[in-house]
Chain A
């Protein structure tokens, strides 16, 4: 079974401070990990995926297979980063592509 754990329901930081949203996973195969984000009054959307090794809006995430983690980081948080963030795990099963989501972390960046 695949499982995603986001230990923090709420995270509050000040503008300019570093931010780290934690994500741990459980999966017996080779995982593919993603971060999805939902801004206020907007749809849930993809932020980044580990296979792309990209930085989106200043965010990065590194897959650590030893610690089974995929934490999302940004060195200097901005107010517009305030949103709900979901870590997600895929079974990478070809056409049977299925995403399992964590419960989410609500990030608030204070001015």
Chain B
């Protein structure tokens, strides 16, 4: 079974530039999550989709971050303009939904903002 795919794995940009990350969840998984993991901290939920609708984006800095999940499958997370404090690993995860509790994570996209 193919896992959650993310790209790019690494990205280095200068502050005020823009960047986009892509995620392809496990086939059939209705729920998709984007987490931000800053060095030394646990993953923090940015946004959660159920199919192509947003369920929770309360911790998404909407002035610079945006995300979409067209057709309820792939998702992109965009940052524009980037700040130094956005340097982190961006994790995408998917799940079947419901109360199983198991999220399947991608390998993450490591962003460095200079």
Contacts and interface: CB of A to CB of B under 8 A. Distances in A.
A9 B40 CA distance: 9
Nearest to A41: B107
Given A44-B43, A98-B45, A100-B45, A32 B101 contact: yes
B42 A101 contact: yes
Interface of B: 3-4, 31, 33, 35, 40-45, 48, 50, 55-56, 91, 93, 95, 97-99, 101-108
A44 B55 contact: no
Given A97-B95, A98-B45, A103-B42, A46 B55 contact: no
B15 to A, nearest CB: 26
Contact of A98 (B56, B105, B106, B108): B56
B49 to A, nearest CB: 11
